[in-house]
A and B are shown apart, each in its own frame.
Chain A
Amino acid sequence: MTVLRSLDRFLVRIETAFLVVFLSVMILLAFLQVMLRNVLGIGFLWADPLVRHLVIWVGFFGAAVATHEERHISIDALTRFFRPRWKALAHIGTSLFAVVVCSHLAHASYVFLLDEKSLGSDFMLNVPTWVALIVIPAGYVLIAFHFLVKLIEHLLFVVGKQESASR
């Protein structure tokens, strides 16, 4: 479990680093593009598609971190009033469900990526579109992994091997 948990934290740190770098590039590039267009009347053809794809990258890394921090949008009106043990049981069910769904979504996006690869289109300059799409299956795998760690933590809590699982 310690190994899993440190891997979990390590991944979150990597995801945060990616997120910060990509968002910074997005902010600078989007601003530069507006200035070039409105002041000089020019712009880079590759910048707009790049910024649009960065949204997906930043979004998936944000979603992965949000999984770790339990920030996904959900209905918590009911579980708010649960006792810790019941809360943990509910978490086990919902985390298991999320792991299953995210694995399927990862598979579906991998199929989509292969389809795009066979089409062979480019999204900017000479970079093929499928390269920009790697983040979708990878993101779902990361999200599934974070949910899996949550699942194990809550399981350990229920069997009494750990003090508290939920913040």
Chain B
Amino acid sequence: MNTVVVGLLLALLALLGAPLFAIIGAIAMLSFAAEGIESSAVIVELYRIGSNPTLVAIPLFTFAGYVLAESKTPQRLVNLARAFFGSFTGGLAVVALATCALFTAFTGASGVTIVALGGLLLPILLKEQYPEKFSLGLITTSGSLGLLFPPSLPLILYSVTSKLSIDQLFAAGFIPGLFLVVILSAYGIRQGKKAHVPKTPFAWTNVRNSVKAAAWEIPLPFIVIGGIYSGTFTATEAAAVTAFYVLIVEVFIYKDLNLFRDIPRVMRESMMLVGAILMIIGTAMGLTNYLVDNEVPMKLFELTKQFITSPIMFLIVLNLFLIIVGMMMDIFSAIIVVVPLIMPIALAYGVHPIHLGIIFLTNLEIGYLTPPVGLNLFISSIRFQKPVFSIVRAVLPYIGILLIALIIITYVPALSLWLVEALGVK
């Protein structure tokens, strides 16, 4: 009885906007107290996860992403992509998708992409006579596209909470991530043709100028992706190199940002996100360890076994469940809270844990676009000063496409696992 009242009270507080780390922390401490365990057990878990070596990658990559977002990198990136892909029909849609995906991988799908790149791309799309509804939907969708590519923050968080190899996850995300970009590009090209958008002629001077302008930034994806896939760097080492490299390039070579005027501000901005995530990881790890110790996932499995008899059925239910999770929770809390509970169940049904991670993140990527809490909807609404409702209408076709892609990613495990095995990543 008491538990029900407390549970309802906490749910109400959560809905009224209480910080999620406090809600989770309260549940963790109350659970421990009920078992007569000292509440410092919560902090033991916080410290254990907090000193996890992979966690170092989070502040370093987040800082690097924010530096890129605050400098003129978005402009140079768009120019570069336009010079290459802008000349064929629908090419500009591909430019938007590719640049946003690349950018989101570095900024961690925290909404920065829509603010930094969307503001640049939307006016260009409209000027080149792409329909407004199509363009708004495209930019809003692109804001979280690319979170399957290294070094995205959600992938790192998944590795930290599931204790899986971050290098394997980075390899696993690549083909599914590319698949999403390709399938959305195909739609973009078709819509571009339908709208009879004018072509801009291809010019070598544009290519040469834009490559020259972005010469210092072009190596970045190769350092990260190439370094990790070839085994030269671990993810954490790649993060260290990226953070340092980006700082030097933007401050001393491009001089887009001032070391004393801008960098402290960017550090503060980016570390607020890191702090918010650390708070949730800290309290959630205590709670999930408690739940795992009490064999809650196994009890859930015993329960579901009666209704869900095959792995295929499990995957269907998993997808539906995760879409609901994605509707209710932001991606960071969802990973931290749900992964430790779902993983033992998925393993019992014979789902590969790395494949589960990719399914998980693809689902949550769709969650960015679904009301009521889809982050991208609100960021687009604020950034482009459109009512949330019209943004929702604009993204509907994209949600449909992403759902089809999700089904393919879910039922073809090879998409996620092939590269891991082919590269022999440990």
Residues of chain A whose beta carbon lies under 8 Å from any beta carbon of chain B: 16, 19-20, 23-24, 26-28, 30-31, 33-34, 37-38, 48-49, 51-53, 55-56, 58-66, 69, 71-80, 90-91, 93-94, 97-98, 101-102, 104-105, 107-109, 111-112, 115, 133, 136, 143
**B239 adjacent to A112 (CB under 8 Å):** no
Among candidates B38, B47, B328, B333, residue contacting A73 with C-beta atoms closer than 8 Å: B333
Any chain A CB within 8 A of the CB of B42? yes
Residues in A neighbouring B46, C-beta threshold 8 A: 109, 136
Any chain A CB within 8 A of the CB of B332? yes
**Overall SS of chain B's interface:** helix
Nearest B residue to A107 by beta-carbon distance?
Answer: B39
Residues in A neighbouring B373, C-beta threshold 8 A: 75, 77
**B18 adjacent to A97 (CB under 8 Å):** yes
Interface pairs A-B: 6 shortest CB-CB = A62-B275, A63-B275, A62-B271, A59-B278, A30-B240, A31-B244
Residues in B neighbouring A59, C-beta threshold 8 A: 50, 59, 271, 274-275, 277-279
**B43 adjacent to A108 (CB under 8 Å):** yes
**B275 adjacent to A64 (CB under 8 Å):** yes
The answer for the CA separation of A63 and B15 in the assembled complex, in Å, is: 21
B62 to chain A, nearest CB (A): 10
B6 to chain A, nearest CB (A): 12
Spot the interface stretch: B19-27, B342-350, B408-416.
Answer: B19-27
**B267 adjacent to A23 (CB under 8 Å):** yes
Q: List 23 A-B contacts (CB under 8 A).
A: A20-B268, A28-B244, A34-B233, A38-B237, A55-B50, A56-B50, A59-B277, A60-B275, A62-B275, A63-B276, A69-B272, A73-B280, A75-B329, A91-B17, A93-B13, A93-B18, A104-B25, A104-B39, A108-B38, A108-B42, A112-B40, A115-B40, A136-B43
Any chain A CB within 8 A of the CB of B207? no
Q: Which of B251-284 contact A (CB under 8 A)?
A: 263-264, 267-268, 271-280, 283
Residues in B neighbouring A51, C-beta threshold 8 A: 56
A23 to chain B, nearest CB (A): 5
Interface size counted on chain B using CB atoms at 8 A: 64
Any chain A CB within 8 A of the CB of B29? yes
Nearest B residue to A137 by beta-carbon distance?
Answer: B43
Residues in B neighbouring A136, C-beta threshold 8 A: 43, 46-47
A-B contact count (CB 8 A): 196
Residues in B neighbouring A58, C-beta threshold 8 A: 59, 271, 274-275
Among candidates A53, A60, A101, residue contacting B278 with C-beta atoms closer than 8 Å: A60
**A112 adjacent to B44 (CB under 8 Å):** yes
Any chain A CB within 8 A of the CB of B16? yes
Residue-wise, chain B 214-255 has the 8 Å CB interface mask toward A (1 for contact) of 000000000000000000110011011101100100000000
B218 to chain A, nearest CB (A): 20
**A73 adjacent to B240 (CB under 8 Å):** no
**B268 adjacent to A73 (CB under 8 Å):** no
The answer for the CA separation of A34 and B378 in the assembled complex, in Å, is: 40
Any chain A CB within 8 A of the CB of B372? yes
B329 to chain A, nearest CB (A): 8
Among candidates A16, A28, A80, residue contacting B268 with C-beta atoms closer than 8 Å: A16
Any chain A CB within 8 A of the CB of B55? yes
**A97 adjacent to B274 (CB under 8 Å):** no
